[in-house]
Structure 1
Amino acid sequence: MSSQVVNTTEELIQPILTEKKLELVDIEYVKEGKNWFLRVYIDKPGGVDIAECGEVSEELSNKLDEADPIKDAYFLEVSSPGVERPLKTKEDFAANISSNVYVKLYEPIDGNKEYEGILSSFSDDTAIIEYKVKTKKSTVEIPFDKIAKARLAVTF
């Protein structure tokens, strides 16, 4: 049911976002405690503001009420993905070269299932990440299909 809700929400929101020149980053339909949450993350170059999130939320809420794909009570949240934005698509990777990223893998490469470092390139469906182990710099090549989760990573 969860994937059905996500797919329907994506179909309903895409025309709204196209009209407003916004990008869909992610949709989650999750249960936390006894409450259900439908979370929609949107973005654009330079970021989205609270007014844009409010407009999209209102329009999406009306479309969801009409389509009625969710039988349980739920909370709708529309927001920016924030500074640690998820990287979901190959396009996300290509657009974030030279950014600091955190990647979690389905299976280990060179004995590790997690890497954090600079995304130095992305081509032929492979991400190359430069990372440090103590003071030594290393690189790892990660096939896109081995990535379980990825996001931008904030460094201090």
Structure 2
Amino acid sequence: MRQTFEEMLSDIIRPEVENLGYQFWGLTSPASGKKRVVRIYIDSPDGVHIDQCARVSRQVGLMLEVEDVIPGAFTLEVSSPGLERPFFSPDQMVNYIGREVKITLFETHDDRRKFKGTLTGVKGDTITLNVDEEILNFKWISIKKAKLIHEF
């Protein structure tokens, strides 16, 4: 299976972030307009502060310039995943079982692409949601976006 641009970038950036002492949570890099935006999410047990994001941004920015893996101009953004964190793999969701999540599928399931429910399980590449008292299983590969819903 061919690696996506984001997976290739993640493989390059992950060790750099981890060497600085942070957890690499994930990245997005939608191509839009003339300038690509590379958005990196980092975390740590104590959370992440602006100074830490700036440090990672400087280090990763230098490395990306040297490696020259991104064609053309790009903007690099580094932040914490936040309270309504996006998920980049099913194993990231394990610690959030019992919490509300929202997923968007690539293709419709029962005439819907968006589901909001309680995460009740994660097994391998399958996540289980309780949506309006109905238990639904979704393969990770069918999920376009998944994020935590923070209850205020």
Q: TM-score range by the shorter chain?
A: 0.7 to 0.9
Deviations 1:88-119 (A, max 9, x none): 21211223211210012233444432211110
Q: Do 1:28 and 1:38's aligned partners in 2 also have CA atoms closer than 8 Å?
A: yes
Q: Which blocks of at least 5 consecutive residues in structure 2 are unaligned? A: none
Q: 1:37 corresponds to which letter in structure 2?
A: V
Match of 2:138 among 142, 147, 150: 142
Deviations 1:45-102 (A, max 9, x none): 3421111111111111121222222342222111112222111212112232112100
- 2:64 corresponds in structure 1 to 64
Secondary structure of residue in 2 paired with 1:75:
strand
Aligned identity (percent) is 29
Secondary structure of residue in 1 paired with 2:29:
strand
CA–CA distance in 2 between the matches of 1:12 and 1:34? Answer: 23
CA–CA distance in 2 between the matches of 1:143 and 1:32? Answer: 28
Could you say which structure has the higher strand fraction?
Answer: 1
Matches within 5 A, 1:1-156: 6-7=6-7, 9-132=9-132, 137-156=133-152
Q: Do 1:105 and 1:114's aligned partners in 2 also have CA atoms closer than 8 Å?
A: yes
CA–CA distance in 1 between the matches of 2:76 and 2:25? Answer: 16
Provide closer, same or farther for how the CA distance between residues 104 and 64 of structure 1 changes in structure 2, counting only shifts above 3 A: same
Q: Do 1:5 and 1:69's aligned partners in 2 also have CA atoms closer than 8 Å?
A: no
In terms of Rg, which structure is larger? 1
CA shift, 1:8, in A, is 5.2
CA shift, 1:130, in A, is 1.6
Q: Do 1:99 and 1:119's aligned partners in 2 also have CA atoms closer than 8 Å?
A: yes
Give the RMSD, CA atoms, in angstroms.
2.5
Taking structure 2 as the reference length, what is the TM-score of the superposition?
0.80
Provide closer, same or farther for how the CA distance between residues 122 and 56 of structure 1 changes in structure 2, counting only shifts above 3 A: same
CA shift, 1:126, in A, is 2.6
CA–CA distance in 2 between the matches of 1:29 and 1:52? Answer: 21
Taking structure 1 as the reference length, what is the TM-score of the superposition?
0.78
Q: Which blocks of at least 5 consecutive residues in structure 1 are unaligned? A: none
> How many equivalent residue pairs?
150
